Structure 1
Amino acid sequence: MGIIVWCVLFAIVIFFAFVATRMAAQNKEDGLHDTGLAIIEFGRAFPNEAIRQLQATENGQAVFVRLHDNKAGFMRNMSRHFSCHLIEPGRVRVIGSETGRGLVIDFLDAPHHNGNFEFASAKEASEVSLWLLGNYIAEPDKDLPPGNISAANKQ
């Protein structure tokens, strides 16, 4: 009888240890703090886009991606998968948050991703806002040769 009780207690301890380690591993995987994972997931979604720089939010739930040719992208942790999309020029609105370290962003093509994104510093937030601003190129201006931009503005 004593051996059965000890076996049951041992099984209960093993079960709780297994559950505790799985929960700790899940909490580590909840965010996008690992830039390698972010690069792999975004590269899988958009294999023809070259990533120049990544900037994760403070909580690691979202990553803003600076791409070649002044494009920008966005990744968000959706608990069981990562949602990735390219931000089309002129299809995002950005306002600084009250904290100074965050941005209130409205994605016109993906409103379910709208929100307040806090970064570790004001410098990181301003850099992401510049990426999004660099991505905001008006269609008529894109077709003008570089020498004609000032002439077009004088008209």
Structure 2
Amino acid sequence: MSDCTNCPGAGVNRREFLATSSALAITAVLAACGDGIGGSATGPSNVNATVTLANYATLGTVGGIAVISGAGTPIAVVRASTTQYRAFSLICPHQGTTVAISGTGFRCPNHGATFNASGAWTGGQRTNGLFEFTVASNATAGTITISS
């Protein structure tokens, strides 16, 4: 235990420290959430990426979702059917937070908005759906090309 009575924070007990810290953290989260539908989110950057499907095992089955790396913007690819793939920006349309795969869809860790595998908003903080990229499939090469 320190005997410094003139140090910054001296005399603040654990309960006061935790209460103040929690209040500041909640304020920061609420400030980041903005004002509701649409907000002032940052849109996805331009994308032109070719993806080798064999590099993503989860895309081997219908309903599989994979986060694609190296595209310059966070992207998720969903295998929608045996022949169709869809690609979505993982930038939340509300405030630009990167959303994560959650079960068979997506969830924003910043404000709790949820989206289904088709990119549509399904719950939590009301916002627009996820931005969808154009996907062209080349079955012979085993690749898809994602573009904005």
The structure with the greater share of residues assigned to helix is 1
TM-score, length-normalised on structure 2? 0.28
User: Could you say which structure has the larger radius of gyration?
Assistant: 1
TM-score, length-normalised on structure 1? 0.27
